């Protein structure tokens, strides 16, 4: 086990995280630590790639400033968002070991302190530069381990936040977040997330509200049902011709107008050509879920081929696309098994 300092809005403030009731107002201390599981993410693939980079809670607290609203009120910091979700996981899963957050950020926003306003960029000293990241996503492992279709998985929670969705030029207003709970495939760090296991549009004014909504989401999650549903994907097979036909239909989908999609009663898909290209390459070469020397893949493999491809998306898009990949895989499985649904068009 290792000790990790959890950050807060300023270097002198720190949110206290423990397995106790979350207070109605967030209490702070000069120095608090929380035990987290060490090493679960070492030498493992990242759960998202895109143009993101990995960062620690320590660096978020000590290297990054917290942007403000027009009235100079602080926004909820990235680290406070992460801490609130971690606190919810600690309280909802008291018998489990909660892992250290794996955090990815993108779209760095650079600035400078007032005393350096007239300096050239090349002349700025390190302490005169400011930095924050517009977008952040994170994943926290819960120690519960399982096997789905022969692959080791674990329960994970996490969230996404994109400040480009906020109008910081006005007075303080509710801020937008996404939180989720689902399964992570250990061998590749793919996330398997259902739409009802994610809050896509969470608007909050404080970390306490984030905590409350995260607790509600986590308590409503049924790990056994989640396991059974994902396991069922392994019972339906797709031949090479089936897979190529689905990919072709998905490319045709991209060419249809919104009116044509509505007329055909098709689901909403925003996967894009880059995801389809990556999924096709994965079908041929992915050592974990590709066709290999076989003649078919399962819908479980299809889900993971799509999820692997979605990991190249931007932070503010990947979670929505992962849910769409889940819906698509289940929709195709059900359509192959005779159900008349919105996804049957992809196999016709």
Encode pLDDT of 13-61 as tens digits. Answer: 344 455 544 433 333 232 233 333 333 344 568 999 888 999 999 999 9
Q: Which residue has the tokens 């992460």?
A: 82
**CA 341, 343, 346 angle in degrees (round to 5)?**
135
Does position 133 have pLDDT exceeding 80, yes or no? yes
* Side-chain-facing half-sphere of 17: CA atoms under 13 Å: 29
Q: Which residue has the tokens 């060419």?
A: 255
The average confidence (pLDDT) of the chain is 88
- Ramachandran class of 292: left when φ > 0, alpha when ψ lies in -120 to 50, beta otherwise: left
Angstrom distances, CA of residue 334 to CA of 23, 127, 322: 45, 58, 18
Average confidence (pLDDT) over 149-166: 96
Cα separation, 322 vs 210, in Å, equals: 22
E strand or H helix at 263: helix 258-263
Neighbours of 160 (CB within 10 A): 25
Instruction: Using only the alpha carbons of the chain, give its radius of gyration.
Output: 22
Question: Would you state the pLDDT for residue 30?
Answer: 28
Residue 146, token pair as written in the block: 């399982």
Sorting pLDDT into bands at 50, 70 and 90, what band is 185? very high
Does position 157 have pLDDT exceeding 60, yes or no? yes
The whole-model pTM stands at: 0.85
In this structure, what DSSP letter does residue 347 have?
Answer: G
Question: Would you state the pLDDT for residue 50?
Answer: 81
Closest CA to 315 of 171, 106, 2: 106
Question: Would you state the pLDDT for residue 44?
Answer: 61
Maximum Cα–Cα distance across the chain: 69
**Pairing mode, if any, of strands 237-239 and 190-192?**
unpaired
Sorting pLDDT into bands at 50, 70 and 90, what band is 8? very low
Q: Interhelix angle for 299-310 vs 223-232, to 10°?
A: 110
Neighbours of 333 (CB within 10 A): 23
Cα separation, 340 vs 267, in Å, equals: 13
């Amino acid at each position: 086990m290792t000790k990790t300092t959890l950050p807060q809005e300023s270097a002198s403030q720190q949110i206290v995280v423990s397995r106790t009731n979350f207070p109605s107002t967030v209490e702070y201390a000069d120095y608090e630590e929380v035990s987290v599981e060490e090493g679960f993410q070492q030498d493992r693939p990242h759960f998202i790639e895109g143009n993101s980079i990995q960062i620690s809670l320590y660096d978020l607290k000590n290297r990054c400033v917290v942007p403000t609203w027009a009235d100079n009120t602080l926004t909820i910091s990235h680290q406070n968002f992460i801490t609130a979700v971690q606190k919810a996981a600690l309280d909802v899963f008291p018998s489990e070991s909660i892992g250290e957050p794996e955090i990815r950020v993108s779209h760095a926003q650079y600035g400078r302190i007032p005393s350096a306003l007239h300096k050239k960029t090349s002349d700025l000293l390190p302490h005169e530069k400011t930095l924050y990241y517009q977008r952040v996503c994170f994943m926290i492992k819960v120690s519960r381990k399982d096997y789905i279709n022969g692959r080791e998985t674990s329960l994970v929670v996490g969230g996404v936040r994109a400040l480009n969705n906020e109008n910081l030029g006005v007075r303080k207003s509710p801020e937008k977040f996404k939180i989720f709970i689902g399964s992570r495939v250990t061998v590749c760090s793919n996330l398997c997330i259902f739409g009802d296991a994610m809050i896509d549009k969470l608007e909050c004014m404080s970390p306490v509200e984030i905590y409350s909504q995260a607790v509600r989401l986590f308590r409503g999650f049924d790990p056994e049902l989640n396991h059974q549903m994902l396991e069922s994907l392994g019972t339906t097979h797709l031949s090479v011709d089936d897979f190529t036909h689905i990919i072709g239909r998905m490319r045709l989908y991209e060419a249809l107008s919104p009116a044509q999609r509505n007329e055909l009663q098709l689901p909403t898909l925003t996967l894009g050509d880059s995801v389809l290209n990556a999924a096709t390459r994965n079908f041929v070469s992915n050592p974990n879920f590709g066709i290999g020397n076989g003649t078919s893949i399962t819908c479980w493999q299809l889900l993971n081929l799509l999820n692997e491809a979605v990991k190249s998306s931007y932070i503010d898009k990947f979670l929505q696309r992962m849910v769409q990949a889940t819906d698509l895989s289940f929709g195709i499985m059900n359509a192959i098994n005779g159900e008349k649904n919105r996804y049957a068009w992809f196999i016709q």
